[in-house]
C-alpha cells in the first residue's frame, strides 16, 4: 500500500507515519530528505532520530528519491519518506528547473510499480495566504501539484491536524 500523509508544521504527520510503519510488522527503512544545514535543522533531525526505533534502517537522500525508492522497495519492507516538501526545497534550491521536473516525474512514474508499503510524509502548504516572493510561490505551487499527483497514485491519503488523522482517501486507519 502507498500512503500520502499530509499536514502542517507540527501537525503530527511524522509521528503518525512512524506509528503506521512500526505497526506494519515489516522491516522499516526511514528515508530522510533533509540536510542539517544549520543548528535548528540539526536539532529537528535529532528529535526525529530519538523517536525512531534503533532497529529501523536509515537512508539519507536529499535529491534522488525515486532512485532510492526503486532500490529499496520490497514486498516485505516499509519505506517511510520524511519529507517530500524538504526534498522539493532541496531541488528548488538547485535552481535547475529541468532537474526538478525530472526528479518529480521519476517519483510519479516509479511509485505505482513499487512493492511493499510506502509512507510519504509532506507538509501541506496551500492553506495560507499566497506568498509574496517568487521562490516561495514556486515552492507552494510545486508542492500543490506534487501532492495532487501523488494523491491520485496512493491508495490512502491522510491529512493530520493537531495530531488527529483525517482520512481523505482509502481504507480507515
Would you name the residues annotated as active-site residues?
Answer: 48
Residue ranges of domains in the chain, CATH in brackets: 20-154 (3.40.50.300)
Over its length of 173 residues, how does the chain's per-residue pLDDT go in tens digits? 999 999 998 899 999 999 999 999 999 999 999 877 778 877 777 777 778 898 999 999 999 999 999 999 999 999 999 999 999 999 999 999 999 999 999 999 999 999 999 999 999 998 877 788 999 999 999 999 999 999 999 999 999 999 999 999 999 98
Sheet harboring 2-7: ordered strands across?
A: 57-60, 27-32, 77-82, 117-123, 2-7, 156-161, 164-169
As a whole number of angstroms, the distance between CA 53 and CA 100 comes to 32
- Residues 34-43 pLDDT 10s: 877 778 877 7
Say how many CA atoms lie within 13 Å of 119 toward its Cβ: 27
Amino acid at each position: 500500500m502507498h500512503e500520502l500523509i499530509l499536514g502542517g508544521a507540527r501537525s503530527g504527520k511524522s509521528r503518525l507515519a512512524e506509528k503506521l510503519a512500526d505497526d506494519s510488522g515489516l522491516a522499516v527503512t526511514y528515508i530522510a530528505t533533509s540536510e542539517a544545514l544549520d543548528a535548528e535543522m540539526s536539532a529537528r533531525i535529532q528529535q526525529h532520530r530519538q523517536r525512531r526505533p534503533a532497529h529501523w534502517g536509515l537512508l539519507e537522500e536529499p535529491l534522488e528519491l525515486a532512485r532510492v525508492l526503486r532500490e529499496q522497495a520490497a514486498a516485505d519492507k516499509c519505506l517511510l519518506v520524511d519529507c517530500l516538501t524538504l526534498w522539493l526545497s532541496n531541488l528548488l534550491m538547485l535552481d535547475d528547473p529541468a532537474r526538478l521536473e525530472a526528479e518529480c516525474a521519476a517519483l510519479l512514474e516509479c511509485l505505482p510499480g513499487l512493492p511493499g508499503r510506502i509512507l510519504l510524509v509532506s507538509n501541506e502548504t496551500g492553506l495560507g495566504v499566497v506568498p509574496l516572493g517568487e521562490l516561495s510561490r514556486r515552492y507552494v505551487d510545486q508542492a500543490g501539484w506534487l501532492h495532487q499527483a501523488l494523491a491520485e497514485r496512493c491508495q490512502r491519503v491522510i491529512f493530520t491536524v493537531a495530531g488527529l488523522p483525517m482520512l481523505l482517501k482509502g481504507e480507515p486507519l
